[in-house]
Structure formats: C-alpha cells, structure tokens
Chain A
C-alpha cells in the first residue's frame, strides 16, 4: 500500500535509510581513516591537493552527465567530446598560432556543435538517448582522430610537409591545468550546477522533466527546450573537461578523453543517493568523484598494483548502486 515511506520517520532509526543517505560519505570518511592509518602521508596537504587535482577533470565531465541525467537523458559521448576539444584547443595553439581566448572559444564551439547534434537527433528524430550518444561517441572519436590525422599534437611537432610546427601554447593556458586553478575551476563548476539544479526554476523544470516527461509537458513546461539545453550543457562541460585536460597534458594525445567516460559515469551513479537526493545531483557527483579519487590515490600508496585497481573501483560502484536501488525497490 501507499503510505509506507512517510511512516519511516516515526520509526526512528532506519539503518538502510541511514546508509542510503550517508553511505557514500561514511565510506569516504572510513577510507580516509584507513589510508591515513596505513600511511600518515595520506592526510598531508600536498596529498589532499593531489587527490583534488586528480579528480577535477573527471568531476567536470561527470557534471555534464549529471545534467543530462537530470532530464532522464544519458550522454555517452562526453569522453569523445573531451578528446575533440583537447585536440582542437591544442591545434589552435600549435598549428594556427592563436591566442588563449580564441583557442578556448573555438574548442567550446566544437563541443556545442556535438551537443546540438545530440539534442537534435534525440529530441527531434527521437533516437533513444543511450543509443544515439553511443553512436555519437564513435563518430566524435573518429572526427577527433581524423582531425589530428591519428597523431599526437604537440609543440614543435613535425608537420606533414616536413617543417616544424611553430605555434606555442600560451603560458596563461598552461596555468588552467595547474593548482590552484584546476581545483578552483572544478569547485566553480560544481557550485554553479548545484545552484542551477537546486535553486533555480530551470533546475526544477529539469528534474520535473526527468521525473515524468508527460506530466511535465501537460504542465506547460517547454520540455524540448530544456532537453536541448541539457545536452548542450552536457557537451559544454565535457568540452571544458577536454580543454583542461589539454592544459594538463600540453599535448593532444589520441583519444585522451575517452578514458574519463567510465569514471565520470561511475561518479554520477555513486552520487545519486548522497544525502538522500535519490536523483542526479552536482554535490553527489562531486562526492562520487572524491570517493573514486581517494580510492585510486590510497591504493597506489598502499602499493596495490595498477592492474588490480579496476576491481576495487567496480566493486565500490556496485556497492553504491546496491545502496541506491535496494532502498528504491
């Protein structure tokens, strides 16, 4: 019957409800204590900054996925989009000798074109989001590869005509990928999207659409407009992630963004239940990324071999999902 859930409050402490709300945060705290006991270096400022830096690109890309998920869409093309903007921004410097603002604007424009294509094919042509963005993932990956002719772009690279590339990557651009800027950008993105989703009408509409698209439509909410906006934002954040990745690497390596997709998806899903939100949310995504980052960092410190790392990561994701869905049943 209905009514079950509200009565919970009266029952006092509910273990699973507690786990559902605070499971992710408790896990983070427990991990921190464990790693700290194993190696006190873990809690030194240098290492904390290190962890935050390591998760910033994943977080920014994951925030994009969070937005698409908030309208009950799914964007698998974010990894490829990051690769694309990585290639575009570096090529702007190295091949065309452009300034930082122009390089960034062009790269973001490229990401937005991907977002527009996604939005058009999902909203107008009505291809299911998961399938379409999967296809788009391959297409954009290919476009990025073709654009770089399958090679790494870097300063002083040898061009097809045998000469050396003369463009330099601006010093200001390099700063983006360094502490503290990279961390500040991540925090700004998380805060911005958290406010957007929770404190503005636009965010509320997105959650309403994600909750029940037909009810949203019959409430007079411009459903398609918000869906388009969600895919554009998703692509834009993926693009931003790619640009910062470029600044970290200072090169455009083949498919450099692709590996971020799965970590980002994991962060979003781990974050679903944070603080009992039960829906995609920016803070949760951040905590999800923190959890993954701490695991990676701590396990390296404890000399767990890199090839075993994915076992732990996957297990944590499965546990987080178990918490979310066991409660929902």
Chain B
C-alpha cells in the first residue's frame, strides 16, 4: 500500500515506493474519465424517456414526450453511448491508472496513449453526428445486425473506438513486459493481472466484430459489396459480444477485489484464488457466444449444448468472487464490531458513497447473475429470449453492478484528477441509493413484463398485442425511469460540481491500490500467458470450429448467402 498524493506540480520525479502522478499522466487519465462521463451523459438520459415511451399509460397522458421523437434512434444512442463508448473510455482510463500505480511506473508510451485517445474520441464524435444526423438509417441499435445497414460513418466510428482500444491494450502489455523484465521472479499485483486478463480477452473477442465490420458491414455500407449473410454476421458479432460484457465487468471486479476490502476496512480473503478466478475469465469468456443465439435457425442444437455447458462454467469464477469478496466484507464488519452470523451485511460503511455504491452494485448483481443462469439454460431461454427480461438482466449487471462500481471509482478518482474534493458527499449517497432502488424496480418490472410477453427494443405503447399484465409492468418501469432520472441528475451535479465548483483541495487520502503482491503461495506459472492462450485456442476450436463450419457450410463448399434487401420499407 503506497500513500499517494496527487500534486499540482508539473513534474515530480518518481521515487521508489511512491509514484506521484505527474501532470501529463493526470491529464491523460482525466481525459479518458471525463470523456467517458460525457458519453454516458448523452446515453443515460435516453433511458428514462424510453421507459416513458414504452409505457401505455404514460403515453396516454403525455402523448408528446420530448427529446427524441423517433424511439429507435433513442435506443441506438442509449446502447452505443452507454455500452460501447462510456465503458471503453472509462476502462482504458481506469486501467492506465491501475497499471501505473500498481507497477510504480509510467506507461510505456505516453504518445501512443494520446494517439489511442484521439482515435477513440474522433470515433465518438463521428458516431454522435451520424446517429443524430440520420435518425432512420443509423437506428440499427448497438448490435447493428445486417441486413439493416447503417451509414458508413457509423461503422467507421466503431472501428476507431476498437483500434484505439487495441493501442491502449498494446501500451498496457508493453508496460507490464517492462516491469516483468525487472522483476522476473515476482508475482504481478493482482489488479494488474486482472487488467492484463481483461485486455487479452478483449483482443481475442474483438477479432469477431473486426472481421464482421471490415469485411461485411463497412463494404456493404459503402456499396463495395452488394450482399451480406445475416447468420454469419450474427455469429461473428456474438463471438465478440460475450467477451464484451466481461470486458465491462472485470474492471468492477478489480475494484471489488483490490480496493473495496481496504475501503471497507477489511482484508481480502484469498488472493491466490482471486488470480485463478481471473484466469478462468480469460479462458471461458469467449467460447460461450452461442448462448445469445439459442433461437437461431442456422446453428445446430449440439453446438448450442456445448456453449450451454461452457456458459455454466464461466459463472464459476463469479461465484468464487462472491465468496472471496463476501468474506472480505465480513472481515471488515467484524473489525467494526459485528458479532452475529447475519449482522455483518448491515455493519458496513453504508454511509460512505464509495463503499455503498459497490455494495449496492453487488445486491443488483445477485439478481443479474441468477437471471443470467436462467438465460444460459438453453431451454429456459426460449421463454425469455428477446423479451424485456433480457434488458432486465443486463440492467442489473451492466447498469447495476458495473455502472455503480464505476461511479464508486469516479467518486475517488475524479477528485484525484481534479485536485479538488468531491462536490457533495450527501448528494453522492443519495445518488447511489436512488440508483439502487430505481434499477431494482426497473429490473423486476421489466422481467415481469418480459414473462408476460413484452418484447425488448419495441415501442410497446403502440403494440396491439400487449397483454394487460405486460402493460401494467411497463407502466411500473416508467416509475423506475423517473427515479433513475433523478439519480442521473444527482450524478452529473456532482460530476460538474467537482470539476468546476468545488473549492476544497482533494483530501490527502490514500489511493486504494497495492504496489506489491502480498501473495506468496500462488504458483508462478499462473502468469504464463502462452499456456493460457493455448488452452483458450483449443477451447475455441472445440466450441466455435463446428459453428463456423455450419454457418459457412463447408459440406457444400463456401456457401455464403448473397443477399441484400433492395430498399428499406416505408414508415407505417
């Protein structure tokens, strides 16, 4: 544990034991975090309006809901900005911070870091202009399945984001390599191991979407090729889609494993098992994509069965996390005077927004995790596939656990970047609890609506088929939308308040990060990346080899469907 202060000084030499964040580094991490929050701001406020648009009762009383008149444009902004741009910017900024502080060294190349940032930022601007400028054509949602084809700039924005994230990954790998050369027989700090796993997994997973965009969607959008194959495109997309969700989740786990125990006043239960958990994510996050495609006609049931089994296995490291972090929290509560078997969840620092946000995220994650197991059970999936149950699931995971943990990080990292104290702690606490209540209500109501037949991503207030029960639960989501809107406003009051209004200097608080590993028992071969890549390669061959053989139809030669709808249907 290093005590790190964040100076106003321009250049402070790094001394052993303390790496002072020099100005240029503070600028870089700050640029990522602030851009992430601006991207989130454009996406987050779409959310409540979507719940209003979907609620039959709300639309009946307020027929002219402002902001976006075209519902599917709002859904696209919400998904693309929140799930793709906010997350990637935040993860890259946070990962730079973790790697620099844990390893006590600067990034390998600051210039490469800025190049990556500028690429991603141009991608963000291009994407916003495209979606706002052509509401109909670019409303392909954040899954952009063909044969719906968006304007070329939509895909170029995504390409810039992904290429930027690859440069960031390379920068992190090179920084790690430099450290490893100087410390060949040391275990890398747990947080850095997790960041390494996250970016390695990301580099493997993004291959799928890169192939899809560069060889199928972008050329089709530019008119270079006239045809497409929707089944192949979906398979490539979901090769990427599941690593994507773990790319969001693992930085939150970094906070839970390596920062929360200290923030809560306890000690991590088992660091070696934490390492094992992260390496399991590296191996099992990718070969599970078919659990998004159980209902696809072009893929055999046996391949889907293999992916069902692998999906069950990828939940094991999350269960291990629940035990390990749970034990750390119990330890923290015992230090605070908890005595009985069940009083430790209540003896937490619920009054500290940084701790409360993560604990609230965990509560939502219990619902999110188990609903995920239901989705992964291939036959149960048939009852909920593409219903509003699915957004209920990922709003308790991504919108709950991940976002609340990122907000928790924001509440200590933003003051460190700005050099000013958090604008208002009570507002932060109110934000956390309104988010918890709003998202829990949203998740429950969306789940119920889905079980009663409400589809996801549909302007259900106009749907003639909506059952009374589904209509009722959609009305409830509008109530949760109001709560979440309040929470979002509170979040941005604190964000802008800390940036522009806060006058008090940032407290000389310790940044919650370990610089050396206290782990003396985990085997060193856990860090042999070549080995893990080999295992991953074999698993991918087993899980995805037959799938691509089917989709490309090797028996009958390379049968790629040559098809494109001639024109988009007119507005109803």
**A-B interaction:** no
